[in-house]
Every structure is written in C-alpha cells, then in structure tokens.
Amino acid sequence: MPIEEVSIPDERKAILIGKGGKTRKNIENKTGTKLNVTDYVKINGPVDGLLKAHNIVQAIARGFSPKHAFKLLDEKYQLEIITLNEENENTRRRLLARIIGRDGASRKMIEKGTGTFVSVYGKTVSIIGHPDEIDAAKQAIEALLIGKTHGYAYSLMKKD
C-alpha cells in the first residue's frame, strides 16, 4: 500500500488526533487509511483515500479546524497554500496582518466575498473552497500582499 508523509507543527497534533482520538479515527474511517502521528504524520492506504487524508491532515496542520478540513472529502473542494518563506520575519508579520485585518475583519470579508475558508498560520495563508472561489480569494490575498488597498482587493472578489 502507498505511504504518504505530512509534516505537522507540534501544537496542531492534538487537534489532528482529537479528543479520545476521534478526529484521527474519523479521517481513517472516511478515507480508508491509517494515520500514525509521530514527529510527522505517516498515512497508509489506497491511493484515492491517501490523497484525501493527505489534504485533510495538511489543512489541519495549516490551522484549519477539522470541521473545515473535512470539506476536502468532497471532490469539489480544494486546498491552496500560499507560502511567504522568502520574506523576513517583520515583513511577513506585516503582510499576514494585512490579510487578517483588525479583529479578523479582512479575512472574514475575503471568506464572505468568495465563499471560502481562509487560515493564516505560521508562514502561510491557506484557502479551502471550490476552484473558482479559491481563485477569487487568491487574487484578493495577492493584491494585499503586493500593497494594494483593501478596497481594491475586495473589488477583485465581485462576481460578474
């Protein structure tokens, strides 16, 4: 059987496992895989289940709640991760703050305007949604990252 490995921050492991192992068992049952959580997550199982389990584990590792990560069981949903590795710490912090906004207002506006779920975690901004929704959210996020105004970024999300 194929094996997949996913790295996960230590502070996200408890969320992946869930109370009494409930989240891990849920992932295993819904994907037909087995998860072994150590320094990283090793996933064993059939190819189709492996890909779904990988995406769910990766979404949880990137800050999504299991509830939102389980949307990835539906073929219509995808996970997109934007990485800001190339930026220095201060620049990255400033850019991520622009995406989050005061009290999370900007992130919520992007989610509401596109129908996606957005997570800002570590050095990444991740999006769960349908491909066209992800494209709209990604356009708005990338506009904020290059210094465009929030108003301009939100205007990119408008449906024609």
State how far the Cα of 8 lies from the Cα of 17, in Å rounded to an integer: 12
Ramachandran angles phi, psi of 13, nearest 5°? -65, -40
| Count of domains observed in the chain | 2
Average the pLDDT over 134-160 and give the result. 90
Check residue 86 and report its DSSP letter. Answer: T
Confidence of residue 159 (pLDDT cuts 50, 70, 90): low
Least confident of 67-71, 85-89, 125-129: 85-89
Asked if 56 and 107 sit in the same domain, the reply is: no
Q: What is the pLDDT of residues 89-123, one digit of tens each?
A: 899 999 999 999 999 999 999 999 999 999 999 99
Q: What is the pLDDT of residues 18-65, one digit of tens each?
A: 999 999 999 999 999 999 999 899 999 999 899 999 999 999 999 999
The confidence score (pLDDT) of residue 95 equals 92
Last residue of a domain, one of 47, 72, 97: 72
Asked if 68 and 82 sit in the same domain, the reply is: no
Decide if pLDDT at 1 tops 70.
no
Asked if 31 and 51 sit in the same domain, the reply is: yes
Average the pLDDT over 59-73 and give the result. 97
Residue 35 placed within a domain:
yes
* Domain hosting residue 97, numbered range: 78-155
**What is the reported pTM?**
0.92
Decide if pLDDT at 2 tops 90.
no
Asked if 147 and 84 sit in the same domain, the reply is: yes
> 125: which strand partners?
82, 120
Instruction: Say whether 7 sits in a helix, a strand or coil.
Output: strand
State how far the Cα of 73 lies from the Cα of 134, in Å rounded to an integer: 16
Check residue 136 and report its DSSP letter. Answer: H
Asked if 130 and 105 sit in the same domain, the reply is: yes
Asked if 55 and 92 sit in the same domain, the reply is: no
The confidence score (pLDDT) of residue 3 equals 85
Lookup result for tokens 């094996």: 3
Asked if 124 and 83 sit in the same domain, the reply is: yes
The confidence score (pLDDT) of residue 43 equals 96
The amino acid that residue 128 corresponds to is I
Say which CATH number the domain at 31 has: 3.30.1370.10
Residue 160 placed within a domain:
no
**What value, to the nearest 5°, has the Cα angle with vertex 48 and ends 37 and 20?**
30
The confidence score (pLDDT) of residue 77 equals 97
Q: Where are the alpha helices (DSSP H) in 40-88?
A: 47-61, 66-69
Last residue of a domain, one of 72, 90, 105: 72
Lookup result for tokens 């490995």: 5
Residue 14 placed within a domain:
yes
Last residue of a domain, one of 56, 72, 88: 72
